[in-house]
């Protein structure tokens, strides 16, 4: 079917669609990863967004249950240059189109994604509306103007688990695996789920950590008591979607954990929440960091890592009043990692789990175990 797109800067586009039909509003970004489209669209950090893929051919390896980063497709939609319905991969179980139809998510194809990526790079990430049933520009504009913006929406409430659970698996792929059975645990940690990825939990378990996952509505007082009783050794703050400044309840709980000097590590949204909870606000990047090829300088070790990134917000430079910068982006000089002074707390902005892309940063999970042991 035809699909019609209206961007908040006034651009109106016509394309074709695959996946589900309907009318959908979300924030449009672009992602430069060369692979891993299934992992990206099922990453809870992408809730509320349309992902424009700069890789021109999408769908050619199909999809499978093992590569789901969460229980469902999280994006509002995906925009691709060329969709390949006929897939070919020995691990594939169904087509991308069938997955999107089943989960009521729109796909847009036969569109100039290079133009879209350059527009976003120039003007910044922006809100958009896409429809397979409405072709009138004025009507689409009205729908967009009357819809909530992503920066004002708390998507963490939608994607976080509602019940606590234990994560046992350390195997994240039928092709590549680390252990036939999970390793013996050297420490017990609690993961606060703001939108955690399955591959993050797998890597934590592979680093010989016993992993218990709690919802974003966790009670810090309970965790402090458990830490004092030595039933847990540390807390991990996961990645997740949206504006970290909206998460006031979570910030108050994290402040209690900081005051109790519990060993903590955060990635992406967790990294941002640690900064805010120390009293240093975040800011929104123009078009964010979204891709699997971002060079980051590890300042402590003196080497460069190629990292996976997926965030629109960043910590401000004034956080250096209370933390040492351990990692820095070589694209724009923004802070990518912190170690807090006089506290057993550290964090990184990028994604060290990166199940389908660069694995140069997976040592970070072992660093968390070392932080706990120290």
Distance CA(307)–CA(352), nearest Å, equals 7
Distance, in Å, from the CA atom of 267 to the CA atom of 182, rounded to the nearest integer, reads 23
Please answer whether residues 128 and 137 qualify as being in contact, where contact means their C-beta atoms are separated by less than 8 angstroms: no
**Maximum C-alpha span of the chain:** 63
- Global model pTM greater than 0.85: yes
The predicted-structure confidence for 191-230, as pLDDT tens digits, reads as follows: 999 999 999 999 999 999 999 999 999 999 999 999 999 9
**Cβ neighbours of residue 297 closer than 8 Å, sequence gap 6 or more:** 303, 304, 327, 328, 329, 330
Averaged pLDDT, 104-133: 98
Residue 176 has pLDDT above 60, yes or no: no
Nearest to 220 by CA among 253, 255, 263, 247: 253
The whole-number pLDDT of residue 300 equals: 86
- Given a contact cutoff of 8 angstroms between Cβ atoms, the answer to whether 27 and 125 are in contact is yes
Give CA–CA dist 112/124, Å, rounded.
17
The 10 Å CB-count burial string (b at 16+, else e) for 206-241 is bbbbbbbbbbbebebeebbebbeeeebbbbbbbbbb
As given in the structure block, the two tokens for residue 322 are: 């209370």
d(CA 164, CA 304): 37
For the chain, residues classed under CATH 3.40.50.880 are 156-373
Bridge partners (DSSP) listed for residue 179: none
Model confidence at 354, pLDDT cuts 50, 70, 90, reads low
Residue 222 has, within 13 A of its CA and on its CB side, a CA count of: 5
Q: What fold is seen in the domain 2-152?
A: Glucose Oxidase; domain 1 (3.50.30)
**Topology of domain 156-373, CATH:** Rossmann fold (3.40.50)
Where in the chain is CATH 3.50.30.20? 2-152
Q: Which residue has tokens 């590549």?
A: 176
């Amino acid at each position: 079917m035809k699909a019609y797109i209206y961007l908040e800067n006034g651009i109106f586009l016509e394309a074709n669609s695959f996946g589900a039909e309907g009318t959908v509003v979300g924030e449009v970004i672009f992602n430069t990863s060369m692979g891993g489209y299934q992992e990206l669209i099922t990453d809870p950090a992408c809730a509320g967004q349309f992902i424009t893929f700069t890789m021109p051919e999408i769908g050619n390896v199909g999809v499978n249950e093992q590569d789901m980063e969460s229980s469902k497709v999280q994006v509002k939609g995906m925009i691709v240059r060329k969709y390949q319905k006929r897939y070919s991969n020995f691990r594939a179980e169904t087509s991308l189109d069938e997955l999107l139809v089943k989960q009521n998510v729109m796909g847009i194809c036969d569109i100039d994604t290079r133009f879209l990526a350059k527009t976003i790079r120039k003007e910044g990430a922006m809100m958009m509306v896409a429809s397979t049933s409405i072709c009138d520009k004025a009507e689409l504009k009205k729908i967009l103007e009357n819809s909530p913006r992503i920066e004002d929406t708390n998507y963490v409430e939608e994607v976080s688990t509602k019940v606590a659970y234990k994560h046992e698996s350390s195997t994240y792929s039928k092709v590549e695996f680390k252990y036939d059975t999970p390793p013996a645990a050297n420490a017990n940690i609690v993961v606060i789920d703001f939108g955690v990825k399955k591959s993050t939990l797998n890597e934590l378990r592979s680093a010989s950590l016993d992993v218990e996952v709690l919802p974003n509505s966790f009670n810090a007082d309970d965790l402090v008591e458990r830490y004092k009783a030595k039933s847990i050794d540390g807390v991990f703050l996961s990645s997740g979607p949206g504006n970290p400044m909206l998460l006031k309840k979570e910030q108050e709980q994290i402040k209690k954990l900081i005051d109790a000097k519990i060993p903590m590590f955060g990635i992406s949204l967790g990294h941002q929440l640690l900064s805010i909870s120390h009293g240093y606000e975040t800011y929104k990047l123009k078009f964010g960091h979204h891709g699997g090829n971002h060079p980051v300088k590890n300042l402590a070790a003196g080497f460069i890592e190629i990292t996976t990134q997926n965030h629109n917000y960043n910590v401000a430079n004034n956080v250096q009043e209370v933390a040492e910068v351990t990692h820095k982006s070589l694209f724009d000089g923004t802070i990518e990692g912190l170690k807090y002074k006089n506290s057993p707390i550290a964090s990184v902005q990028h994604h060290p789990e990166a199940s389908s892309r660069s694995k140069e940063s997976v040592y970070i999970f072992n660093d968390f175990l070392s932080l706990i042991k120290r």
